[in-house]
Amino acid sequence: MAWGKTDYEALTAREAFGKLTLDDLRPLAELVAADPPTKKSDIVPLLARVMTNEARVRELYDGLDPLSRDAVRVAAADANGRLDREKFRAWFGEPPRFDEPGPAPRGRAYGYGRSQRPPTPLRLFFPRFDYLPTDTRDILRGFVPPPDAFAVPTVDAPPATHILYEQVWHDRGSVKEEKEEPVRVRETASEAEADVRAVLRLVDAGRLRVTDKKLIPTEAARQAVAGVLAGGDFYAPDDASESRYDPAADISIKAFAWPVLVQAGGLAEKSGDALKLTAAGKKALTAPPADVLRKLWAAWLKTRQFDEFARVDAIKGQGRARMSAAAGRRKLVADALAACPAGRWFTVEDFFRLLRATGREFVVANAAHALYIAEHYYGNLGYDDEHAWEQLQGRFVLAFLFESAATLGVVDVAYVPPQGVRHDFHGRWGADEFECLSRYDGLLCLRVNPLGAWLLGTTDAYRPAAPARTGVLRVLANRDVVAAGPLPAADRLTLGRFADPASEGVWKLSAEKILGVVEKGGSVDELEQFLASRAAGEVPRTVTTFLADLRAKAGRLVDAGPARLIACADEHIAAELASDRRLKGMCLRAGDRFVVVRESDLDAVRKVAWRLGFVWPVPPG
């Protein structure tokens, strides 16, 4: 009999078996009696007696294979006795077996839509497919242990290579050929700490432009970001597909993500055509990078302004599909990441299993039938289960992990180019020419790193790795900074902020340039740390003394806020206002006839002056 989905209905064993046809009941009766009755009126009471007898239920349970026992354990633990088939398959890796394998015996062909194989004993526990009978469930709960919690399988290291399969056509037909692709591994925490500062410096320099409506980076902005990333983007331009219609034609990931992330985190905002730093962004330039990443991660989980699924360009119609809130989807995926053991690698497929086995299900589009590939009529994704989970939920998860979590340093990633990796979309109309469904299809394995564990809240502290001395610069006593070779773009950008170019590969530290950076929210400490981590040898004493003097001068003046200068008719009035006990600290003498009042104190000073008989001047405009 076909194992179809049924709605919940609290039925006893007699009621549940009573809803089956005679063709369904006879094979079940053969499982419990050597000479079973042949009439429905006799079979239903027989099966009900067996499945409400504790001894017989125990005997049948003990005779089940391990996978079938797991199915009973899962259903017995459910409040309604339900066996969620999709969840079970994700949990245990395969569906429960309700029918015996192999061809049906002669005479057992039940007709269209019905199983042609005899049932397994597990069918006795689930006469109505998805639910245990209530009285059978009560018996099972007395002795059946709860199911083991799902634990994502982990390994010490990702595989060194990944096998790709390609269908190659010859004169005599097609042959499936194998290709071994080296797996690339990126440890993202230290990269993210360097990248966030480099991107904020780009914003500060006015070099990141975004589009007017969607606020996403322009192609020039992506190239600028890619040029300052530590280690570059995940993929190089050579990894892109040749066809401009393929989803992997645009292979940028980090370069797209950073301008979006700093906007969502409140560190940058659009001003004209380009992004500019907010007050929080200026502070972030000198804050510990890990703290900045933590704020960005928390803000990204909640933002409604952007949706990773919008980056799955091959799936059209998202504007009409009533997309669910991305923040709710992100929370479920982040919760699942927090449930994974830090420091251990696990596959994307097993992470998919974790989401589904633990009930972290979500809907990407409330009107999935509005989504399509290539052409709306033929390429429509359809209703309910007409599309695979991996095509919608799975692609959102891949985009979130690869473009958001990995960019922010939450997870380390192992991956290959996306072309030809996943085959869960080839059956869809219009996708047969695609080499992938998204640029994220190449993600194979991931690992929650120490920074990620801290960001996810599974550990209380994070200690960044000490910056390694790169030795790419020579700092001379005359305040010249000389590059020992080609510098990363991020290093050149930093030197350009604090020093004047003197010649090719040489910069001169300038007090005016450094104080100008400090005036805009930078710090001398940032420059000092930069030089110390990149200098070949110790920074000369003359330079450290020079920087110490600048640091001291930079902190001696503080902006106390705007104020108003008030001219008095004579020095006696100025003295009276400055000495009034009600205005203590609010009116400051400025020469003989002037007083200075902070903007924040104007209302209070005006009231006291009026009581003293003076008319306070009305501000112009």
- Say if residue 271 is in the same domain as residue 379: yes
Whether residue 431 is found in the same domain as residue 571: no
Query: pTM of the entire structure?
Result: 0.77
pLDDT band for position 194 (50/70/90)? confident
336 and 388 assigned to the same domain: yes
Residue 114 above 80 pLDDT? Answer: no
Residue 311 has pLDDT above 60, yes or no: yes
Q: Answer whether residue 156 is part of any domain.
A: no
Predicted confidence band at 585 (pLDDT cuts at 50, 70, 90)?
Answer: confident
Largest CA distance in the chain: 122
Whether 321 is covered by a domain: the verdict is yes
Tally of domains in the chain:
4
What is the C-alpha to C-alpha distance for residues 346 and 348, in angstroms, rounded to an integer?
A: 7
Q: What's the rounded mean pLDDT across residues 14-40?
A: 93
Instruction: Assess whether pLDDT exceeds 60 at residue 208.
Output: yes
**What is the domain range of residue 540?**
473-554
pLDDT value of position 464: 86
Q: pLDDT of 445-466, one tens digit each?
A: 999 999 999 999 999 999 987 6
- CA atoms within 13 A of residue 579's CA, in its CB half-sphere: 6
Residues 543 and 594 in one domain: no
Where does a domain end: 554, 578, 603?
A: 554
Per-residue pLDDT band for 227 (boundaries 50, 70, 90) equals confident
Asked if residue 241 and residue 343 are part of one domain, the reply reads yes
pLDDT at 240: 93
Of 116, 140, 164, which closes a domain? Answer: 140
Tell me the C-alpha distance between 217 and 103, whole Å: 59
Q: Where are the beta strands (DSSP E) in 150-261?
A: 161-170, 173-182, 184-186
Are both 291 and 366 inside the same structural domain?
Answer: yes
**Residue 515 counted as domain residue:** yes
Instruction: Verify that 538 and 567 share a domain, yes or no.
Output: no
Residue 65 pLDDT exceeds 50: yes
pLDDT at 300 over 60: yes
The answer to whether residue 295 sits within a structural domain is yes
Cα 434 from Cα 428, distance rounded (Å) = 10
Residue 186 lies in a domain: yes
- Say yes or no: 290 and 359 in one domain: yes
- Tell me what the mean pLDDT of segment 56-70 comes to: 96
Cβ pair 437, 421 in contact under 8 A: no
More confident residue, 591 or 557: 591
Tell me how far CA of residue 503 lies from CA of 480, 486, 531, 604, in angstroms: 10, 14, 19, 58
Q: What is the mean pLDDT of residues 147-175?
A: 84
Question: Which phi and psi (to 5°) does residue 210 adopt?
Answer: -130, 160
Are both 321 and 376 inside the same structural domain?
A: yes
* pLDDT tops 90 at residue 522: no
Residues 119 and 187 in one domain: no
- Paired tokens of 542: 């003359």
Residues 521 and 416 in one domain: no
Average pLDDT of the segment spanning 603-609: 90
22 contacts 134 by C-beta, under 8 angstroms = no
Separation CA 345–CA 365 (nearest Å): 30
pLDDT at 620: 62
What pLDDT score does 431 carry?
Answer: 80
Question: In angstroms, rounded to a whole number, what is the distance separating the alpha carbons of residues 479 and 490?
Answer: 21
- Looking at the structure, do residues 541 and 607 belong to the same domain, yes or no? no
Q: What is the pLDDT of residue 72?
A: 97
> Where in 541-620 does DSSP place strands (E)?
563-567, 587-589, 594-598
Domain membership flag for residue 616: no
Q: What's the pLDDT tens digit per position in 486-510?
A: 887 667 877 888 899 999 999 999 8
Over residues 522-539, the mean pLDDT reads 84
In a domain, 252, yes or no: yes
Question: What do you get for the CA distance between the two ends of the chain, in Å?
Answer: 86
Cβ contacts of 125 within 8 Å, gap of 6 or more: 51, 60, 61, 71, 72, 75, 132, 136, 140
Q: Which of 274-288, 445-459, 469-483 has the lowest mean pLDDT?
A: 469-483
Task: Give me the pLDDT at residue 3, please.
Answer: 44
Distance from C-alpha of 441 to C-alpha of 422, rounded to nearest angstrom:
6
Q: Report d(CA 394, CA 433) in Å as an integer.
A: 20
pLDDT of 39 strictly over 50: yes
Q: Is there a domain that residue 160 lies in?
A: no
Q: Which of 115, 140, 165 is the last residue of a domain?
A: 140
